[in-house]
Each structure stands twice: as C-alpha cells, then as structure tokens.
C-alpha cells in the first residue's frame, strides 16, 4: 500500500494522527508517521498504547533551528494541534488572575507557533494542518492570527482559516475550533469540508450501564446549586450545565472536566443526583473509536480527552488536504510496500 509521510506535533494522545490515518485509508493510502512530539508523560503513555513505535521528541523547543534539518525527518504533511491555553478565553482569564503572560508573550506555550514555523520553513513539507481554539481568530482583535498568516504565507499558500464545529460533523458536542491549512506548491482552489449536519443526540454517545461512581455526591450537587445561585446574582458564569440525554449536543468538554464535571452533568431523572460523563463517553464525544486504549487514571483520561481534537472534523479536513496532494502533487515522499 502507498504511504504518505507525516509528523505529529503537540500530539496529545494522537487525535490528529487517527484522523489523517482514517482519511488516507479511504483513498487507498497509509499514514507513515515519522515522529511525534508530546511533553506530557501520561499522554505519551496513552499515545504509545495506540500506535506502532514512533520516534519521540518530548519538548519541541529542545530542537534548535540549526539542528532541524538533521533531527526532523522529511515528511509530506505536518500536523500540529498546538497548545490553545494561551489563546483561549479561559486560559487568558486564568493567566491574568495569576499575573502571567498570555498569547505570544507566554514563553512556555504561547510562542510554540514559531517552532512549527521554523520546521515548515526548513523542512518544507508539502502541506500542513494546524488546529487551535476559535478564540485565536479574534484574540487581540485578530492581530495575532494576522501575524501568523503573514509568516506562513512567505512560503505557503494559506487560504483563510475556517472555524468548524464538531456538532456539525456528527458529534454531539458543541466544539468550535479554527483550522489553518497550507500548501507548498498550490495549483487551484482548496475548499474546507462542508458540514454534514448529521442529527445527533447525546444519548447515542453514552454508556448503557455507567458505573455508579460517576453519580455526584449530595455534597457536590448541593455545592453546584449554591454556586450557580451565587454566580447568577453576581452576573457571571453559569455555575454548572445540566445536560439531558435527549439534547442534541453538550457544550464544549474541556480538560478541566475532571475537577467537578460542571460543564456537563447528565440528568438522571427528577430528585436524582446527576452524574459526570465517563472518560470513555468523553472520548466518544470527541469521535475516538471504541478500540482506542487508555489505562491512565480518570483524572488524566479526562484531561487527555478534553485536550484532544474532534476526530470527525479533523478527518474531513485531512481528507480534503490529502485529496488535493494526491491529485495535484507529483513529488510526495511516497513509499510503497507489499499490500
């Protein structure tokens, strides 16, 4: 089967890699991932349970620009769901409260875009797919995104980025993310995928017999209700969101879901305490297959699922990018092996 090479940066548990692999398989190709980067050891543990052995660079910042040519393997497609916390509304709020920098001024996570840029400019893969929170589009009145695009467009054709919502692509979760794609040698027009608007219900993604341990305690339920009343009086926040199995979608499930489940407490009937989603249910709402393996604690699983990409959406983006490359590019780093 023909292979298309890739690297998977800020990989988390491999959502973008799964998406690319699914897209290429539909076209009779196989993804040959040459390298992944992920700094979190728990995410590495989950990643390595689900993929064949792959070269790992824990901290992409450890690779100096002068070493990129020899350290980063040649590849056709660069994938990067680069850290969103410095650009998300919640992340910015937390950083402000802690008197910490955000955006590009966050030297731990906010400037990682420039590491991606250096790899693109030196290795020059045929295409790239970047993903981040929708707030990147309006952060600092769009100035940061404009700066990113200006730098990317020096070597790449980069169409205007698009915000896509998971609930429009067959997932019962409202999750809006911005996608930035680029092509080294572009001839023609690239179109982002059109939403399927497949009807979904939250109950379609739930366990039939969820363990009782996910039902929240009387103490936590009482605390949620009191906080909601306080927040309403103060005119801030929603306190918690009660979700019904018959709802079309949950709100965005974030990495902080492990704390108290306030983004999505499932209604179990009148006079019954609601329950949290199970880790498997959160992964389902992100489009991960049932075969996906994780053996970390619930805390880490919630973090990993909340930080992951929505598979259904990314797969469609990957499919459009791969279709363009396969139909229009003649110099892919494509290998053949016996089927």
SS3 188: coil
Closest CA to 303 of 17, 109, 19, 12: 12
Residue for token pair 């955000």: 102
Look up the domain containing 220 and give its range: 202-285
Active site residues: 84
pLDDT digits (tens, 9 = 90+) for 117-171: 999 999 999 999 999 989 889 888 888 899 999 999 999 999 999 999 999 999 9
Residue 242 and residue 136 in one domain: no
Q: Tell me if 114 is assigned to some domain.
A: yes
Total number of domains constituting the chain? 2
CA distance 122 to 209: 51
Residue 42 and residue 135 in one domain: yes
Structure confidence at residue 236 (pLDDT): 77
Q: Which two tokens stand for residue 289?
A: 């297959």
CA distance 305 to 83: 14
pLDDT digits (tens, 9 = 90+) for 298-323: 999 999 999 999 999 999 999 999 99
Q: Tell me if 167 is assigned to some domain.
A: yes
Structure confidence at residue 233 (pLDDT): 84
Q: Tell me if 60 is assigned to some domain.
A: yes
Q: Are 250 and 274 in contact (CB under 8 A)?
A: no
Q: Tell me if 303 is assigned to some domain.
A: no
CA distance 202 to 200: 7
Report which of residues 333 and 277 the model is more confident about.
277
Structure confidence at residue 99 (pLDDT): 58
Structure confidence at residue 104 (pLDDT): 46
Share the mean pLDDT of the chain.
89
Q: Tell me if 290 is assigned to some domain.
A: no
Residue 92 and residue 122 in one domain: yes
User: What does residue 205 show for φ and ψ, rounded to 5 degrees?
Assistant: -110, 5
pLDDT digits (tens, 9 = 90+) for 258-293: 999 999 999 999 999 999 999 999 999 999 999 999
């Amino acid at each position: 089967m023909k292979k298309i090479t890739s690297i998977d940066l800020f990989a988390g548990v491999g959502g973008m890699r799964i998406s690319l692999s699914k897209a290429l398989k539909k076209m009779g190709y196989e993804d040959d991932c040459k390298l992944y980067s992920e700094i979190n050891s728990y995410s590495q543990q989950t990643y390595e349970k689900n993929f064949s052995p792959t070269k790992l660079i824990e901290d992409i910042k450890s690779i100096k620009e002068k070493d990129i040519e020899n350290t980063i393997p040649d590849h056709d497609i660069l994938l990067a769901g680069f850290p969103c916390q410095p650009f998300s509304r919640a992340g910015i709020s937390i950083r402000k409260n802690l008197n910490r920098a955000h955006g590009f001024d966050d030297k731990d996570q906010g400037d990682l875009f420039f590491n991606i840029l250096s790899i693109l400019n030196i290795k020059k893969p045929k295409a790239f797919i970047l993903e981040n929170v929708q707030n990147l589009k309006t952060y600092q009145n769009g100035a940061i995104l404009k700066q990113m695009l200006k730098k990317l467009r020096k070597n790449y054709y980069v169409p205007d980025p698009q915000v896509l919502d998971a609930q429009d692509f067959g997932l019962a979760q409202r999750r809006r993310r911005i996608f930035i794609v680029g092509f080294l040698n572009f001839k023609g027009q690239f179109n982002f995928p059109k939403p399927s608007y497949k009807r979904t219900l939250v109950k379609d993604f739930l366990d039939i017999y969820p363990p009782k341990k996910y039902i929240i305690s009387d103490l936590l339920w009482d605390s949620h209700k009191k906080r909601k009343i306080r927040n309403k009086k103060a005119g801030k926040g929603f306190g918690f969101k009660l979700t019904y199995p018959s709802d079309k979608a949950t709100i965005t499930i974030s990495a902080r879901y492990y704390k108290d489940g306030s983004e999505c407490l499932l209604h179990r009937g009148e006079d019954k305490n609601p329950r949290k989603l199970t880790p498997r249910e959160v992964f389902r709402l992100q489009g991960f297959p049932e075969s996906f393996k994780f053996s970390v604690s619930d805390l880490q699983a919630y973090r990993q699922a909340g930080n992951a990409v929505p598979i259904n959406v990314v797969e469609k983006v990957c499919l459009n990018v791969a279709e363009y490359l396969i139909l229009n590019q003649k110099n892919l780093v494509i290998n053949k092996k016996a089927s």
